[in-house]
């Protein structure tokens, strides 16, 4: 049995390596148009400029990028679809900014993607209006990673993760969002490590629906305002916080679930300030 597993693993590994060796490409993008044109499978896109305003890019024919309006007359969401092995890396000491001008679109959306990495980026809306959509939307995707990124509002939410598996966010920030911090819907096996969620003034906090095995390690949830529990669970099990802090939030309660969420070594004595106190 052990031998069979090893052989299968080795064969898969060899296939992956062969594919990677055959197709991997690195492209440098200095403009938003170059960035969007470069999106494709097994591609590493290095962003070398300071700013990328995606709203300046006209719609184009593209196998892996679509412009989709959620409502008639609404803003056009830039949707990256059916891509495997895409890396978007901000180069340099200062993270490049990826922005959109319309308030009713996500900055970037991913549909049916596998193995995507975003690293060292600042992403948000460049508008004075209150936003109706968020920063990152990930739907039907596997193994999408966000590393050392700053997701800022007024995006409605930092991350919307739907029907996806294996999402990882590390050393990243979600701040100043206006509807919720994140929505995790129908997702499995997500990890948030060394992340900070702060200064979001929203209706909701961290929202989980029909999801399982969502882990937070060494994360800080602080100074957020909401009209709901900080950890709002429905039909969700296996939300685990290891270490980290929950502090200084204005919320109705810490969580509305007694059994779907656990805290281990998480400092939460000041989880809620003001009239509220920690209510589990």
Cα 272 to Cα 3, 54, 211, distances in angstroms = 53, 38, 25
| Residue 23 to residue 259: CA distance in whole angstroms | 46
Question: Which of 157, 163, 153 minimizes the C-alpha distance to 134?
Answer: 157
Q: In which residue are the tokens 């129908």 written?
A: 186
Q: Which stretch binds other proteins (CB under 8 A): 37-45, 68-76, 249-257, 262-270?
A: 262-270
What is the pattern of x (binds other proteins, CB under 8 A) and - over residues 39-68? ------------------------------
**Residue from the set 179, 185, 207, 222 that interacts with other proteins by CB under 8 A:** 222
Binding status of residue 141 toward other proteins by CB under 8 A:
no
Choose between 64 and 198: whose C-beta lies nearer to other proteins. Answer: 198
- Binding-residue total with other proteins (CB under 8 A): 26
With b for 16 or more beta-carbon neighbours within 10 A and e for fewer, the 76-94 pattern comes to bbbbbbbbbbbbbbbeeee
Indicate whether 245 belongs to the interface with other proteins (CB under 8 A).
yes
Instruction: Copy the structure tokens of residue 198.
Output: 């702060």
Among 147, 198, 212, 250, binds other proteins (CB under 8 A): 198
Structure tokens at 29: 């993008």
Whole-number minimum distance, CB 150 to other proteins, in Å? 7
User: Can you tell me which of 247, 249, 255, 257 binds other proteins, judged by CB under 8 A?
Assistant: 247
Paired residues of 185 in beta bridges: 162, 209
Among residues 81, 118, 80, 121, the alpha carbon closest in space to that of 99 is found at 121
Cα–chain-centroid distance for residue 182?
Answer: 8
- Using left for φ > 0, alpha for ψ between -120 and 50, and beta otherwise, residue 154 falls in alpha
Q: Does 182 bind other proteins (CB under 8 A)?
A: no
Among 22, 93, 128, 258, binds other proteins (CB under 8 A): 93
User: 220, 239, 251, 254: which one contacts other proteins (CB under 8 A)?
Assistant: 220
**Minimum CB distance to other proteins, residue 196 (Å):** 6
| Residues found near other proteins in the complex (CB under 8 A) | 93-95, 148, 150, 171, 173, 175, 194, 196, 198-199, 218, 220, 222-223, 242-243, 245, 247-248, 264-265, 267, 269-270
């Amino acid at each position: 049995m052990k031998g069979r597993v090893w052989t299968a693993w080795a064969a898969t590994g060899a296939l992956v390596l062969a594919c990677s060796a055959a197709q991997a490409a690195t492209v440098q993008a200095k403009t938003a148009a170059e960035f969007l044109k470069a999106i494709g499978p097994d591609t590493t896109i290095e962003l070398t400029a300071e700013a990328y305003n995606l709203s300046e890019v006209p719609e184009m024919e593209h196998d892996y990028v679509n412009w989709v309006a959620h409502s008639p007359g609404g803003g056009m969401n830039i949707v990256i679809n059916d891509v495997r092995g895409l890396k978007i890396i901000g180069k340099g000491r200062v993270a490049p900014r990826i922005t959109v001008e319309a308030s009713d679109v996500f900055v970037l959306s991913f549909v049916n993607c596998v193995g995507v990495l975003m690293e060292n980026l600042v992403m948000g809306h460049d508008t004075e209006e209150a936003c109706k959509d968020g920063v990152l939307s990930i739907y039907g995707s596997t193994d999408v990673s966000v590393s050392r990124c700053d997701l800022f509002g007024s995006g409605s939410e930092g991350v919307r993760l739907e029907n996806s598996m294996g999402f990882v966010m590390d050393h990243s920030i979600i701040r100043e969002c206006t509807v919720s911090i994140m929505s995790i819907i129908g997702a499995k096996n997500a990890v948030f490590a060394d992340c900070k969620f702060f200064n979001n003034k929203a209706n909701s906090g961290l929202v989980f629906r029909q999801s399982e095995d969502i882990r937070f390690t060494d994360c800080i949830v602080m100074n957020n305002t909401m009209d709901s529990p900080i950890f709002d669970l429905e039909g969700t099990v296996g939300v685990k916080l290891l270490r980290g802090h929950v502090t200084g939030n204005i919320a109705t309660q810490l969580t509305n679930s007694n059994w779907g969420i656990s805290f281990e070594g998480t400092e939460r004595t000041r989880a809620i300030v003001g009239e509220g106190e920690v209510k589990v």
